[in-house]
A and B are shown apart, each in its own frame.
Chain A
Amino acid sequence: METLAFQGLIGLSVAMYLWLLAAGLTIVFGVLGVLNFAHGSLFMLGAYFAFTFYGLWGVNFWLAIALSLLAVGIVGYLMERLFLRHIYHLDHAYQLLLTFGFILIFDDAVKMVWGGVAKIPPLPSFFEGTLSVFKRPFPIYNLFIIGAGLLVAVVLWLLFEKTWWGKIVRTSASDREMASAIGVNIATVFTGVFVFGAMLAALGGALGTPVRVVAPGIGAAMIIQAFIITVIGGLGNLKGAFVGAVIVGILSCYSILLFPVFELFSIFLIMAVVLLVKPQGLFGS
C-alpha cells in the first residue's frame, strides 16, 4: 500500500512536467486554432538551453531557467512571425505539416549543436537530499517540482480569469472577428500567445534538466505524451490538460512498477478507452 502511495507521489511530480507541456499546447490551440506538433521540441530546446547555461557555463540556477525561457521564447517568436503567420488562412493540414517539419529540423539541429549523446546535468546543491515520506526517501527536488507545477496552475488560472490580458486572450479565442472589431490587435495577441506557450514548454524542459536525461529525441517522446493527455482531457481545455497530465503521469509510474515492458502501451490503452467512450475527451465539449 505504501509502495503504491509513494509511487503515486513520484508520478505526481512526473505529471507536473507533462502539465507544463500540455498547458502550452492547449493554450496555443485554444487561441490560434493551430496544433503545434513541434511543441515537444520546444520543451527539448528548453532543456538543452538550461543545461548549457547551468550545467556548462555555471550560471545561477534560477537565472539559467529564466535565460532558457527567453531563448525558447525567441525561437517561438521567430516560428510564429516568419512561418506560421503566413499560413493561418490555409487548411489546418498545412499548419500541421509545417510544425511537423519543425520537429525534424529541431531534432537534427540539437544533434548538430550538442551532439547525439545524452547529457546529465548536475543538481543544484540546495535541492540535494531527501525527505522521509512513507518511511522512504523522497527527493526534495521532486517536491519542488510538484509545488512549481501547482503554482503555475494557479497563476494561469488567475491570469486568464482575473486580468485584463486574460480577457483579451479569451475574447480572441472565442470570436476573432468581434475581438478585432472592438480594437484588439489579433496578430499581436497570436504572437504573444504562441511565445507564451513556447515558454511554458521551455519551463517544463528547463525544470526537468537536473533530474531527467537531456537527449535528442525527447521532443518527439514528449509530444506523444502531450497528445495522449489532450485526447484524454479534451483539446483546448486547461482543466482537461491538468487532469490528463495527472492521469498519464501517475499511470505511467505505476506501469513502470508493474509491467515495465509495456509502460507506454498501458497509457495508449487508456487513450483508446477514452476515444471509444467519450471521443471529445473528459472535459471536451
Chain B
Amino acid sequence: MKKALAIFALVFLLAILPQFAGKYLLYMTIHIMLLSLFSLGFNLLFGYTGLLSFGQAGFYAVGAYACAKILLAVPSLLVGIIGGVAIAGVASFLLGILCIRHTRIYFSMLTLSFGMMIFSLAWKWRDMTGGDDGLVGIPRAPLEIPGLLRLNMAPMQNYYYVVLIFALLAIYVFHRIVHSPMGLTLQGIRDSETRAACVGISVRNYRLVSFTIAGLYAGLAGALLPPLETTVTPPVAHWSYSAEPVLATLLGGIYTFAGPIVGAVLFYIMKDIIVRFTQYWLICLGGIVVLLVMGLRGGVLGIFFGKGGQG
C-alpha cells in the first residue's frame, strides 16, 4: 500500500512537472527517463539473466539512427519511434544469435566488439549515417494518428509528455516481464545454468529473448533521442556510451527492480555537478565504477534494503 502510494505520488509529480519546471529541468528529466529505459534493458541482461553486456550503446544507436532516418523521410513521430524500436529489435535479435553462443567473459567481449562494429558503421558508412557529421535537421515531427489526433511537438513540454507516457508504459511492461514466469526463468538461469537446463528450460532461447528485449529497450531509449536533440552523431554508439547504463545500474543496485531507475537519476545529478568542474568526465565515471566494484556492490538501494554484496 505504501509502495503504491509512493509510485502514485511520483507519477503525479512527473505529470505536473512542466507546470513549474524550466526548460533545462525538463530536458534533464527526459534524459533521465531515457537512461532509465536504457539501463532497465541492460539490467534485464545483467541483474536478471547474469549476462554482462558492454555493447548496449550499439542498439541505442541503431534505434536513434533508424528513428532519425525515418523522421527525415516521413515526418510522423509515432512512425519514427516505433520504426526505430523495431529495427533495433531486429538488430539485437540477429547479433544476439551470435553473442549468446557464449556466456560469461566471452559474452562481454562479444558485446563490446559488436557494439564497436556498429560504431564503426556509424562512423564510416557516410552515405547512410552522415559519417562523423551525423544526421542533422531531424524534425520533432507532430504526433499524428490520421483521422484521430494531431499534436504539435514543437514545445518541449509536449514532447516531455510523449516521453513520459512511453517511459511509464515501458516500465510497466518491464515490471510484468520480470515478475512473469519468464522473468523467474531468467533468474533461475542466472543462478544455475545447469539446474535450469535440467528442468527442461531451453537456456539458449531464453537468453536470446532476454538479449532481444534488452535491445528493444535500448532501441526505445535511442529512438526517443533524435526528436529531442534534432541530431544524431556517432558518439551515441561508442563503447564509452555503453558505460552509462552500466554505471547507472551499479549505482542504483543490480538485484532490485528500481535500481537502474534510481541509478539513472543519481547518474545525471552527479554528471551535472561534475561537468561544472572538469571536462574530464570519463575519468570520474571510471573512478566511480572502480569504487562501486571495490566497495559498494549492492548500489544505493542495496545500502538501504540490505541486498548488497552478492558475489
How far is it, in angstroms, between the C-alpha of A261 and the C-alpha of B124 when the chains are bound?
6
Q: Any chain B CB within 8 A of the CB of A213?
A: no
Within 8 A of A (CB), among B260-308: 280-283, 285-290, 293-294, 297
B232 at the interface (CB under 8 A from A): no
Rounded to whole Å, the gap between the CB of B152 and the closest CB of chain A is 40
B114 within 8 A of A: yes
Give the contacts of A265-285 with B (CB-CB under 8 A): 265, 268, 271-272, 275-276, 279
Q: How far is the CA of A265 from the CA of B50 in the complex (A)?
A: 28
When C-beta atoms are compared, the residue in chain B nearest to A103 turns out to be B286
Contact A275 to B125, CB < 8 A, known contacts A83-B294, A104-B240, A104-B289 = no
B residues in contact with A202, CB < 8 Å: none
A147 within 8 A of B: no
Q: What is the chain A residue whose CB lies nearest that of B243?
A: A104
Known contacts A90-B311, A231-B106, A275-B101; A102/B286 CB under 8 A: yes
A93 interface residue (CB < 8 Å to B): yes
Q: Which of B115-123, B142-150, B176-184, B205-213 contacts A (4 or more CB under 8 A)?
A: B115-123
Does chain A have a CB within 8 A of B239? yes
Whether A276 pairs with B101 at a CB distance below 8 angstroms is: yes
Q: Please report the C-alpha to C-alpha distance between residue A272 and residue B289 in the assembled complex, in whole angstroms.
A: 30
Residue-wise interface mask of A (193-237) relative to B, using a CB-CB cutoff of 8 A (1 in contact, 0 not): 000000000000000000000000000100110011011000100
Q: Do A92 and B104 contact each other (CB < 8 Å), given the known contacts A108-B282, A224-B116?
A: yes
Binary interface encoding of chain B residues 98-116 relative to chain A, with 1 for a CB under 8 A from any of its CBs, else 0? 1001101110111011101
A133 CB, nearest partner CB in chain B, Å = 30
A67–chain B nearest beta-carbon distance, Å: 25
Q: Is A15 close to B, CB under 8 A? A: no
Q: Is the pair A264, B120 in contact by a Cβ cutoff of 8 Å? A: yes
Residues of A contacting B: mostly: helix
CB-CB under 8 A for A261 and B125, given A97-B52, A230-B109: yes
B126 to chain A, nearest CB (A): 8
Q: Are B311 and A89 in contact (CB under 8 A)?
A: yes
B223 within 8 A of A: no
Contacts of A93 in B (CB 8 A): 46, 50, 52, 104, 108
B246 interface residue per 8 A CB criterion: yes
Q: Which residues of A contact B117 (CB under 8 A)?
A: 264-265, 268
What total of chain B residues lie within 8 Å of the partner, measured CB to CB? 42
B274 to chain A, nearest CB (A): 12
Contact bitstring A87-105, B, C-beta under 8 A = 1, else 0: 1011111101110111111
Q: A186: CB under 8 A from chain B? A: no
Q: Say whether B294 contacts A96, CB under 8 Å.
A: no
Number of interface residues of A (CB under 8 A): 44
- Write the nearest CB–CB distance from B201 to chain A, whole angstroms: 20
Instruction: From A29, A102, A231, A279, give the contact of B290 (CB < 8 A).
Output: A102
Contact B120 A96 (CB under 8 A): no
Using Cβ atoms and an 8 Å threshold, which residues of chain B touch A86?
Answer: 294
> Could you give, for residues 7-44 of chain A, a 1 whenever the CB lies within 8 Å of some chain B CB and a 0 otherwise?
00000000000000000000001000001010000000
A152 to chain B, nearest CB (A): 23
Query: B50, B281, B311: which has the most chain A beta carbons within 10 Å?
Result: B311
Contact with B along A239-256 (1 / 0, CB 8 A): 000000000000000000
> Contacts A104-B282, A264-B120 hold; do A227 and B113 have CB atoms under 8 A apart?
yes
Q: How far is the CB of B6 from chain A (nearest CB, A)?
A: 30
Which positions 182-204 of chain B face chain A at CB distance < 8 Å?
none
The reply to whether A220 and B239 contact each other, CB–CB distance below 8 Å, is yes
Minimum CB–CB distance from A285 to chain B (whole Å) comes to 14
18 cross-chain CB contacts under 8 A: A93-B52, A97-B250, A97-B293, A98-B290, A100-B246, A101-B287, A104-B283, A104-B286, A104-B289, A105-B282, A108-B286, A112-B283, A228-B113, A264-B116, A268-B113, A275-B110, A276-B101, A279-B102
B residues neighboring A (CB under 8 Å): 46, 50, 52, 54, 98, 101-102, 104-106, 108-110, 112-114, 116-117, 120-121, 124-126, 239-240, 243, 246, 250, 280-283, 285-290, 293-294, 297, 311
Residues of A at the B interface (CB closer than 8 Å) are 29, 35, 37, 83, 86-87, 89-94, 96-98, 100-105, 107-109, 111-112, 220, 223-224, 227-228, 230-231, 235, 261-262, 264-265, 268, 271-272, 275-276, 279
